[in-house]
């Protein structure tokens, strides 16, 4: 891997930072929950469109699909800077980080010509319909069915833990299309309009007071057969591509890096109990966390570098996923304890240090080793595909 960036790439980073400084209003970072707050969601939608107008929403995509033809590394820098500055992310995460790259691999030319430009414009947001109440880590055990009926597929079933489902325009859905073959071979992927009759979205409350998750019910939902992605019964291969892109996302590492910088700034201020920075144990803890986040950052950079070489990262993406999940728990646990009793106050309290963001992140971090594939699954991938070890 080449650890240096060209002058053009560094200029791209500088241009992004100037744009974010101008577009993200002062104090906006005090409330980065775009899932329940209508005002914030409206801002997120408008922000996405501004990126689309500049062809920045998907800068690494070919120009014919609404991008700028930039490299995978420059796309990663884009994702890193937006996450660090806490720009609205609701529309980008699944559309640009996961769904779009998967379409690049598996969609037909006709499908790409329709789906990719509408994503790149910032107008169309996606969610991901994978997990079900009875099939999480055993994703291939899904029961949601898609039955061919003329020019349509008819969908019946249920999905759960569906982030963004209540604000998404479309869903990348996995459903069973063949009951007579091994479970991994009877799954297909479809692009579903979330406004289709028969779709019901319900919130799944979490302990962080946010609407991150939803469950989605499908009752005789008709999806045009032309919106099948990757071919009939080929959905498992579409899913593995999708998860590789999801696990290689640098946003989590960049967000953790920003949190550490915020903690350092807070520790250097004087509070009721004095200045935390004057305590050696505080400086040592923050130094250890900075090292950990840089390790994760380099893993994410290597993943992007592999993508820039035309490769699809697999075990490398799993390495990043495991590291980011563990770092999230380690960082937020250290942060809430460093902030003391006030660190338990949730967002909205005027007494909450750092806008109460640490306690929210702490509560959400517990799901890190589960969402997007458990750490146990990731370690199996690393062992088998990275180290060449046999199945246990």
Binning pLDDT at 50, 70 and 90, where does residue 28 land? Answer: low
What is the residue whose two structure tokens read 């920003």? Answer: 258
Is 344 or 30 the better-scoring residue by pLDDT?
Answer: 344
Tell me what the pLDDT averaged over the chain comes to.
87
What is the residue whose two structure tokens read 């060209």? Answer: 6
Residue 192 phi, psi dihedral angles, 5° rounding: -115, 130
3-state secondary structure the chain: CCCCCCHHHHHHHHHHHHHHHHHCCCCHHHCCCCCCCHHHHHHHHHHHHHHHHCCCCCCCCCHHHCCCCCCHHHHHHHHHHHHHCCCCCCCHHHHHHHHHHHHHHHCCHHHHHHHHHHHHCCCCCEEEECCECCECCCHHHCCCEEEEECCEEEEEEEEECCCCCCCCCEEEEEEECCCCCCHHHCEEEEEEECCCCCEEEEEECCCCCCCCEEEEEEEEEEEEHHHEECCCCCHHHHHHHHHHHHHCCCHHHHHHHHHHHHHHHHHCCCECCECHHHCHHHHHHHHHHHHHHHHHHHHHHHHHHHHHCCCCCCHHHHHHHHHHHHHHHHHHHHHHHHHHHHHHCCCCCCCCHHHHHHHHHHHHHCCCCCCCCCHHHHHHHHHHHHCCCCCC
CA dihedral 236, 242, 243, 249 (to 10 degrees): 180
Looking at residue 90, its pLDDT comes to: 63
Residue 169 predicted with pLDDT over 70 = yes
Give the rounded percent of residues in the chain with a pLDDT score beyond 70. Answer: 92
| Residues paired with residue 214 on neighbouring β-strands, in sequence order | 203
| Residues paired with residue 224 on neighbouring β-strands, in sequence order | 152
86: left (phi over 0), alpha (psi -120 to 50) or beta: left
Structural domains in the chain, CATH included, are 7-90 (1.10.540.10), 128-232 (2.40.110.10), 248-386 (1.20.140.10)
Residue 288 C-beta-side C-alpha neighbours within 13 Å: 11
Binning pLDDT at 50, 70 and 90, where does residue 392 land? Answer: low
> Residues 270-299: what's their mean pLDDT?
93
Tokens for 356, please give them: 């109460």
Residue 248 predicted with pLDDT over 60 = no
Query: From CA 176, how far away is CA 60, in angstroms rounded?
Result: 33
Pick from 53-62, 83-92, 175-184, 189-198 the range whose average pLDDT is largest.
Answer: 189-198
Binning pLDDT at 50, 70 and 90, where does residue 207 land? Answer: confident
| Residues paired with residue 314 on neighbouring β-strands, in sequence order | none
Looking at residue 97, its pLDDT comes to: 73
Looking at residue 31, its pLDDT comes to: 44
Looking at residue 261, its pLDDT comes to: 95
Distance of CA 307 to the CA centre of its chain: 17
């Amino acid at each position: 891997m080449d650890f240096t960036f060209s002058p053009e790439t560094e200029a791209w980073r500088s241009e992004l930072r100037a744009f974010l400084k101008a577009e993200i209003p002062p104090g906006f970072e005090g409330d980065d929950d775009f899932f329940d707050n209508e005002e914030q969601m409206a801002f997120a939608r408008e922000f996405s469109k501004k990126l689309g107008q500049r062809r920045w929403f998907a800068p690494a995509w070919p120009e014919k699909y609404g991008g700028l033809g930039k490299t995978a590394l420059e796309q990663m820098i884009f994702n890193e800077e937006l996450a660090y500055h806490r720009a609205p992310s609701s529309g980008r995460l699944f559309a640009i980080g996961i769904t779009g790259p998967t379409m690049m691999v598996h969609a037909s030319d006709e499908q790409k010509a329709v789906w990719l430009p509408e994503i790149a414009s910032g107008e169309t947001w996606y969610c991901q319909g994978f997990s079900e109440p009875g099939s999480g880590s055993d994703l291939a055990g899904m029961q949601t069915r898609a039955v061919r009926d003329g020019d349509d597929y008819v969908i019946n079933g249920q999905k759960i833990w569906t982030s963004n489902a209540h604000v998404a325009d479309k869903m990348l859905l996995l459903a069973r299309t063949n009951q007579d073959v091994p479970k991994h071979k009877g799954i297909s992927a479809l692009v579903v309009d979330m406004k289709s009759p028969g779709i019901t979205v319900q919130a799944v409350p979490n302990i962080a007071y946010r609407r991150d998750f939803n469950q989605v019910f499908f009752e005789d939902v008709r999806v045009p057969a032309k919106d099948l992605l990757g071919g009939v019964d080929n959905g498992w291969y579409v899913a593995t591509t999708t998860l590789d892109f999801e696990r290689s996302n640098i946003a989590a590492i960049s967000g953790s890096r920003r949190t550490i910088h915020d903690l350092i700034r807070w520790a250097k201020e004087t509070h009721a109990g004095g200045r935390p920075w004057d305590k050696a144990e505080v400086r040592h803890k923050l130094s250890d966390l900075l090292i950990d986040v840089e390790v994760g950052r380099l893993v994410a950079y290597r993943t992007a570098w592999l993508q820039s070489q035309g490769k699809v990262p697999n075990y490398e993406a799993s390495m990043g996923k495991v590291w980011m999940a563990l770092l999230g728990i380690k960082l937020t646990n250290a942060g809430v304890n460093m902030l003391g009793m006030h660190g338990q106050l949730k967002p909205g309290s005027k007494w909450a240090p750092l806008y109460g963001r640490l306690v929210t992140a702490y509560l959400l971090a517990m799901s890190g080793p589960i969402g997007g594939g458990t750490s146990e699954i990731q370690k199996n991938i690393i062992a088998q595909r990275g180290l060449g070890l046999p199945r246990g």
